[in-house]
């Protein structure tokens, strides 16, 4: 049993080292076994990546909505707004990503 526990602890250390190299902040909790450490570390990484994906999807939705709303306007409406049709993509990127 001791060999298995040591193997789990080595796996946990490798996961933590890799996550720290990537700049991911980890929350380490006290666990009874090495397996629980590995599971806790994996769960933390998954939740952090899930939050990044949600944020990226929200920005992408803003981009798509802005791009679509501007692209369906007629040329005359765009001229009234002072927006050339060639700037629609840039404006949508600025709205979503602040570039």
| Strand, helix or coil for residue 84 | coil
Residues 34-73 have pLDDT tens digits of: 777 778 888 888 888 888 899 999 999 999 999 999 999 9
SS (H, E, C) 19-52: HHHCCCCCCCCCCCCHHHHHHHHHHHHHHHHHHH
Instruction: Please determine, for residue 25, whether its predicted confidence score (pLDDT) is greater than 60.
Output: no
Is the overall model pTM greater than 0.75, yes or no? no
Average pLDDT, the chain: 79
For the chain, give every domain's residue range.
Answer: 2-97
């Amino acid at each position: 049993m001791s060999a298995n526990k040591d193997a789990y602890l080595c796996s946990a250390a490798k996961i933590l080292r890799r996550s720290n190299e990537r700049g991911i902040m980890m929350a380490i909790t006290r666990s009874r076994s090495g397996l629980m450490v590995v599971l806790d570390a994996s769960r933390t990484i998954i939740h952090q990546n899930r939050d990044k994906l949600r944020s990226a999807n929200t920005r992408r939705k803003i981009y798509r909505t802005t791009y679509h709303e501007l692209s369906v306007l007629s040329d005359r409406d765009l001229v009234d707004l002072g927006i050339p049709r060639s700037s629609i993509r840039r404006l949508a990127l600025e709205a979503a990503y602040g570039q």
